[in-house]
Structure 1
Amino acid sequence: MKTLKNLLIYMFSLTALVLVSSCEKEETSYAFQDVSAPTNVAIAFDIAQDDSGTVTVTPSAEGATMFEIFFGDVEDETAVQVAPGESADHVYAEGSYEMKVVAIGISGLTSELTKVVDISFSKPENLVLDIQTTNLTAKVTPTAENAAAFDIYWGVEDENGAPIMTTVMDGVTALYSYPAEGAYTVKVVARGAGSGTAEATVVLNVSISVPETLSFPLDFENPALTYEWIAFGGAEGLANIVANPDMSQANPSENVLELQKPEGAEVWSGAVLPMEEPINFADGNVITVNVWSPRAGVPILLKIESSADPSNVFAEVFATTTKAGQWEALAFDMSTFDGFDPNNSYDGVVIFGDFGTAGQGETFYFDDFQVGLQSQSLPMTFEETGVNNIWYPFGGVEPAVIANPDQSGENTSATVLQLTKTAGAEVWGGVASEALRGAIDFSTSTVVSVKVWSPKVGANILLKLENAENADIAVELPVLTTVANGWETLTFDMSAGAFDPAAEYSRIVIFPDFGTNGAEEVYYFDDIEVIQ
């Protein structure tokens, strides 16, 4: 009954986790593996200054589908349940209490956070600030007698001219990263349950004074670091950090590595970056890189080496581009190289564009060198080897990324998403993607297209877009299939639903044959993208 209750409250919360890797051509199911309890449990806290003792609590956590709040002021207390993004109000008498928040994950695993709440109607006093700065980031930890909440004004304004402010509980640390070096006036206001306050003001001088270490992950966005790529093989001087020429959801970052391969450059032309620390392979042996190639089918060679003995301590692996003129994440499984040892000190990374072919006057771009697969983004083709296709099933639908079983008609691609609506599956059964790499870009169009293979005409395909942090921010639209046992492209004009152009939609939810119980039918989906 508890699971059913959570499902109803959280709009079809997820009951199992299936990891589906696009690197595999066969169906791979890892039900309930790698499922962990929610992490980073936090409490957003506010208190009314009207002598009522009323507080507002908004819990948050990564991987939570429900929260239980125990306010700690009565014995045998019944928890107040709230969904992610929701708040709960409570009235305290004057005193000190232990408030506990329990975050519940999709598998039923839980994490807890306990905080002391001091309710006083007296004016706060003896306000003390513990302030630390590292480069452009400031940390402020306020404490005071008779105070339950602290408003920290960072000395900057948002795009609308409103002051940027953070509210924390007593003894909790607030962080803020400033946009640039400079002097900022920070004001802290301590509040209790009464109308009285205590204030303190300090001027913070923030600057980039402690450079970070040059190593993985590499995203070329840190102004404190110098990314000195050394080109060779006829490309000398042609490896540089430049503005991203194709900012998109697949890669919205500002800076990338440009590597030119001019006419006549050697077949082994490339560039190397010496790093200050070796690559840490604690999270696996796969390195992913965002690649922009002028052509599909281009071999990209990634090499890692030790500066102490580069001729003998190295590993190199190929990956092939599948897109032309677009960003895609490629995966390089270093363990496939004979002699690779994750314990070696690989402190140099080398990249080769179109390895094995002499230069043809082309330019390649690279970004986001990291250990581990990257998150999904649109367009979603299921062909990118460097993307971790995580789909969360619910209501009796089973997902898998597999080889396209019908390479014909409108879809001849190699890999697709398979959804099996098992016998007796709920009418609302479906799957939800993991949080996307960034919010879907609707700046030029509100139309999403999806290639669909349905076993019947008239199947109701419901496409829902959500904010990954707050599922209440969502828009959904149904479209009926018109083809049986063949591919067709369905279009969803999200503006026909409750679409908010200012909202950030960062998760995709698919419901095959919405409104009908499962009958062991199989559907396939591919090429999810925003079209003009």
Structure 2
Amino acid sequence: MKNLKFLFVSILLVFVATTSCESDEDTDLGAAIEAPSGLDVIFNITQDNSGLVTISPSGVNVSSFEVFFADGTGESEVLALGQNAERMYAEGSYPVRVVATNLNGDTTELTKNLDVSFRAPENLVITVTESSVSNFGVSVSATADFETAFEVTFGEDPALAPVAFMEGDTVDYDYNGTGTYTITVTALSGGAATTETTEVVMIVDPVSLPLDFESTTLNYNLINFESAVSIIANPDISSGNDSASVVSIEKTGTQTFGGVVVPLSAPIDFSGPQNLRMKTWSPMPVGTKVTIKLENVDGSIASADYEAFTTVSSEWETLFFDTAGLDTTQPFSRFVVFFDLGAAPTGDVNYFDDIELAEGPPILLPLDFEDPNRIYNIGTNNGGFSIVANPVPDVVNSSSTVLQFDRNATGPNNFALVAIVVDQPVVFNSNTSFTLKVYSPRAGLPVWLKVERIGNGGLFQEVTSVTTTVANGWEELTFNSFTGNTTNDLRNIVIFFDPLQATSAPETIYIDDLIKIN
């Protein structure tokens, strides 16, 4: 027992002695620490006019720094030795204060002015392009180095505020009239420094295709010969032509070749379609000849005559002129239009409008698939289509050409369909009906007819209750009592084949002669 007590006392004494020794050493080290000195702060301003500043304090005998940003926020940041702070500044001068602290809590501080000034933007390049949707429109974009944003004015209205935009943006502007205007683009630095450049643009209203005679600022310079010609209000606004303005022409005198020259501002671009379409209205008998030919600017080079024949009287229709053989390398820049060329004047007043280049004739009702020049815009679902020779002509349908729809074997709710876009909106009233010739491999095939707005199938007129009664033979179905939620701008004709039921095997269906009644 005595030995144990002695050992315990010895250990206790050693512990106390050791503790006492360490305490003395700490007191000596604290007394040796000097106050912070040699303070400095370096400002590194990012050279992109963003205002980002890196603040790097330094000093001797420092354990931490507190940086007071002096930017009006009252904010500061504590940094360990070797750390730095980042801060966004506007252009200006700022008395940044740095307080250094040592391990004893002693402090020393330094105030140093931070001067932030942005460099003027460099390499400013502006791009001005013609609008794709307006003869009076332009689109402006810009790039530059060291810019933070851009502003643009268009030189038309001095009271109009500049439009701000960023690099990568495009600003569109439509002028109110023709003229010469100065577009000014200013590159901003984020501060007072700016860089500016200008570009002069001439806004003109060119006479070019498609030609609709609707401009109120343009002089079309129509040249009449042996005729009376003028641009007038459309005398028969209808689904065939809802334009406000058209050209009126009447042969006068005794000559048979009365017509009109329609000049263009530049030669026709034949890099795309090369055939022509034009809307006409004539009170003359069905089959009246309408002639177009092309000439260069002075008429010294002329094409052959291209002819089309009216199919209605006292109604608007779109005629197609097949220009096969046309030398498209010639600088043709004007049209010559004749009605009833070669026949004596009759006193009839004819009208024309909307001259355009086109691949083929317009796609219009009725749809009979007989014209090989027509280029159809057709889509399908759960099947494919082709325009083929009538496989089974009979008394119901003796047409030469029909549309074939090959329906896949599908599950229910398959919505097998063919959709055909027409160029002229289908007009509906309370009495509108359609007939359609159908050749089905089975009786009892439900056929739906829907006419909808392009791009929005939720706006439509539709009939869903017509069913075939003949297998392997042509029959004519009638669609009436349409239901829907609009009668405007309906150009997508959709025909469904048994859309709710499954078929275990593929089947081929033919359709022809879609005719609108009323």
**TM-score under structure 2 normalisation?**
0.55
Residue in structure 1 matched with residue 57 of structure 2 by the alignment: none
Q: Is the 8 A contact 2:319 2:361 kept in 1?
A: no
Identity of aligned residues (%): 24
1:227 CA drift (Å): 1.5
Matched, 1:420 2:405: yes
AA at the equivalent of 1:328: E
| Structure 2 counterpart SS, 1:314 | coil
Structure 2 CA distance for aligned equivalents of residues 374 and 404 of structure 1: 26
Matched, 1:242 2:226: no
AA at the equivalent of 1:334: T
Structure 2 CA distance for aligned equivalents of residues 168 and 401 of structure 1: 56
Distance 1:493 1:333, change over 3 A: same
Q: Is the 8 A contact 1:393 1:399 kept in 2?
A: no
Q: Is the 8 A contact 1:296 1:324 kept in 2?
A: yes
1:189-221 per-position Cα deviation (integer Å, ceiling 9, x unaligned) = xxxxxxxxxxxxxxxxx9984342x34332223
Matched, 1:228 2:221: yes
Counterparts of 1:109-508 in structure 2, within 5 Å, are 136-141=136-141, 171-177=168-174, 209-212=203-206, 214-233=207-226, 235=227, 238-261=228-251, 265-294=254-283, 295-308=285-298, 310=300, 313-336=302-325, 340-373=326-359, 379=365, 381=367, 388-400=375-387, 418-422=403-407, 424=409, 427-434=414-421, 437=423, 440=425, 445=429, 449-455=433-439, 456=443, 459-468=446-455, 471=456, 473-475=458-460, 477-481=462-466, 485-491=474-480, 493-495=482-484, 499-500=485-486, 505-508=490-493
Query: Unpaired runs of 5+ in structure 1?
Result: 1-120, 155-165, 183-205
Structure 1 CA distance for aligned equivalents of residues 164 and 225 of structure 2: 53
AA at the equivalent of 1:210: V
1:476-531 per-position Cα deviation (integer Å, ceiling 9, x unaligned) = 63333367533344225233xxx157x754533222343354521212242347x4
Structure 1 CA distance for aligned equivalents of residues 177 and 453 of structure 2: 32
| Structure 2 counterpart SS, 1:481 | strand
Residue in structure 2 matched with residue 514 of structure 1 by the alignment: 499
Q: Is the 8 A contact 1:464 1:477 kept in 2?
A: yes
Counterparts of 1:31-110 in structure 2, within 5 Å, are none
Q: Is the 8 A contact 1:376 1:387 kept in 2?
A: yes
Structure 1 CA distance for aligned equivalents of residues 436 and 486 of structure 2: 26
Q: Is the 8 A contact 1:250 1:437 kept in 2?
A: no
Q: Is the 8 A contact 1:448 1:494 kept in 2?
A: no
Over the aligned positions, Cα root-mean-square deviation in angstroms equals 5.5
1:304 CA drift (Å): 1.3
Structure 2 CA distance for aligned equivalents of residues 349 and 364 of structure 1: 17
Structure 2 CA distance for aligned equivalents of residues 276 and 210 of structure 1: 10
1:420-448 per-position Cα deviation (integer Å, ceiling 9, x unaligned) = 244637742222234x557x476x73765
Structure 1 CA distance for aligned equivalents of residues 465 and 512 of structure 2: 14
1:376 CA drift (Å): 5.2
Distance 1:349 1:209, change over 3 A: same
Matched, 1:524 2:508: no
Q: Is the 8 A contact 1:375 1:389 kept in 2?
A: no
Structure 2 CA distance for aligned equivalents of residues 466 and 354 of structure 1: 38
Q: Is the 8 A contact 1:464 1:475 kept in 2?
A: yes
Structure 2 CA distance for aligned equivalents of residues 279 and 463 of structure 1: 39
AA at the equivalent of 1:347: S
Higher relative contact order (CA 8 A, sep 6+): 1
1:300 CA drift (Å): 0.9
1:78-117 per-position Cα deviation (integer Å, ceiling 9, x unaligned) = xxxxxxxxxxxxxxxxxxxxxxxxxxxxxxxxxxxxxxxx
Structure 1 CA distance for aligned equivalents of residues 277 and 178 of structure 2: 32
Structure 2 CA distance for aligned equivalents of residues 316 and 219 of structure 1: 22
Q: Is the 8 A contact 1:419 1:524 kept in 2?
A: no
Q: Is the 8 A contact 1:450 1:489 kept in 2?
A: yes
Distance 1:181 1:304, change over 3 A: closer
Q: Is the 8 A contact 1:139 1:175 kept in 2?
A: yes
Query: Unpaired runs of 5+ in structure 2?
Result: 1-87, 91-117, 155-162, 180-199
| Structure 2 counterpart SS, 1:297 | coil
Distance 1:374 1:380, change over 3 A: farther
Question: Aligned residue pairs: how many?
Answer: 376
1:396 CA drift (Å): 0.9
Distance 1:385 1:347, change over 3 A: farther
1:353 CA drift (Å): 0.9
1:375-394 per-position Cα deviation (integer Å, ceiling 9, x unaligned) = 95765556889864211223
Structure 2 CA distance for aligned equivalents of residues 280 and 272 of structure 1: 19
Distance 1:526 1:519, change over 3 A: same
Larger Rg: 1 or 2?
Answer: 2
1:148 CA drift (Å): 12
1:429-481 per-position Cα deviation (integer Å, ceiling 9, x unaligned) = 222234x557x476x7376533211235663223141332xx46443633333
**TM-score under structure 1 normalisation?**
0.54
Distance 1:273 1:239, change over 3 A: same
Structure 2 CA distance for aligned equivalents of residues 513 and 150 of structure 1: 59
1:351 CA drift (Å): 0.9
Q: Is the 8 A contact 1:378 1:528 kept in 2?
A: no
Residue in structure 1 matched with residue 22 of structure 2 by the alignment: none
Residue in structure 2 matched with residue 56 of structure 1 by the alignment: none
